[in-house]
Amino acid sequence: MRRPFLSPTLLSALLALNAATFSAPATADSNTAEAKAKSDADAEKKAAEWVGSLKLGDAAKETRVTEVIATHLKTIRDWHNEHPFTTVPAGINPVTGNPLSQLDRQMIANSALPKTVHENLMTGLRKDRTPEQVEAVLDKFTVGKVAFTLKGYHAIVPDLTAGEEKTILGFLQQAREQAVDYKNMNQISAIFEIYKTKSEQSLNANGRDWKKLYQAYTDAIKAKKAADANAPTPKQ
């Protein structure tokens, strides 16, 4: 029986297809390795910058703390990437009854991070830093959301008492420490929302009316914007 004749053109195409089939996985693996190496370098650079801003004045301590922070950044990144929201079945929020959002499902997946990861970070930081320096690092992780959010409460509740401030600050500090185990700002903000709700419930329990306070605050902002818009333009 005669074998089917393959034209040189068709033969070349088949050989190219075969080569592409075998080279594609290798190329993909190479791209993944390059991306991870770049991400690792970024994490190490960020950690070094954070530690450098504290001016510890001790090279050995700086090296140890930088490694602790970089390791944490890489670990939460890897956990996040290896546990996408699709690993959590779609369902409902048992409190609200609303369908779980993609963010909800990703938060659930990330919250399963082993507790030892967080413990290793905090132990490593506390070994070589004062409590104030530890807080400064946690602020770096969460882009200063504690101070920013507390300032907002003072603006909304001008006569915030020392006791109320202490309670709210405690909630925000809890949010900050919990949020360092999450990869991006959407997730970090979601953690802070949990503790902001606790803060507002605390204000209500202390005789405040959070909704009225917030409404008065937003009304004042709108009134100021309107007044500024209607103000006469100064003559040159």
Same domain, 70 and 148: no
pLDDT of residue 191: 97
Task: Look at residues 75, 95, 130 and tell me which one is the last residue of a structural domain.
Answer: 130
CB 182 within 8 A of CB 76: yes
User: What would the two tokens of residue 210 be?
Assistant: 């959070």
In a domain, 31, yes or no: no
Which of 177, 68, 61, 46 is CA-nearest to residue 120? Answer: 68
Residues 120 and 173 in one domain: no
Q: Is residue 90 part of a domain?
A: yes
CA angle (114, 109, 92) in 5-degree steps:
135
Query: Could you say which DSSP state residue 142 is in?
Result: T
Give dist(CA 127, CA 121) in Å, integer: 10
SS3 of 92, please? strand
Banded model confidence at residue 232, pLDDT cuts 50, 70, 90: confident
pLDDT one-digit tens code per residue, 160-215: 999 999 999 999 999 999 999 999 999 999 999 999 999 999 999 999 999 999 99
> What is the span of the domain harbouring residue 123?
40-130
User: Where do the H-state alpha helices sit in the chain?
Assistant: 8-54, 59-82, 102-111, 115-128, 131-141, 145-156, 162-179, 185-205, 210-230
159 and 188 share a domain? yes
**Residues 115 and 173 grouped into a single domain:** no
The answer to whether residue 182 is domain-embedded is yes
Residue 73 in this model has a pLDDT that exceeds 60: yes
Tell whether 32 is covered by a domain: no
Q: What is the mean pLDDT of the chain?
A: 88
| pLDDT tens digit sequence for 98-141 | 999 999 999 999 999 999 999 999 999 999 889 999 999 999 99
Residue 46 CA: distances (Å) to CA of 72, 77, 175: 12, 14, 22
Q: Find out whether 139 and 176 touch, Cβ atoms under 8 Å.
A: yes
**Contact in structure between 150 and 113 (CB atoms under 8 Å):** no
Dump pLDDT digits (tens) for 145-166: 999 999 999 999 999 999 999 9
- Name the pTM for this structure: 0.81
Regarding whether 209 and 175 lie in a shared domain, the answer is: yes
Higher-confidence position of 14 and 151 = 151
Q: Which amino acid is at 81?
A: N
**pLDDT score at 149:** 98
Reply yes or no on whether the pLDDT at 11 is more than 50.
no
Q: Looking at the structure, do residues 113 and 146 belong to the same domain, yes or no? A: no
- What size, in residues, is the chain? 236
For residues 114 and 167, membership in a common domain is answered with no
Q: How far apart are CA 135 and CA 129, in angstroms?
A: 10
Query: Radius of gyration (Cα) for the chain, nearest Å?
Result: 27
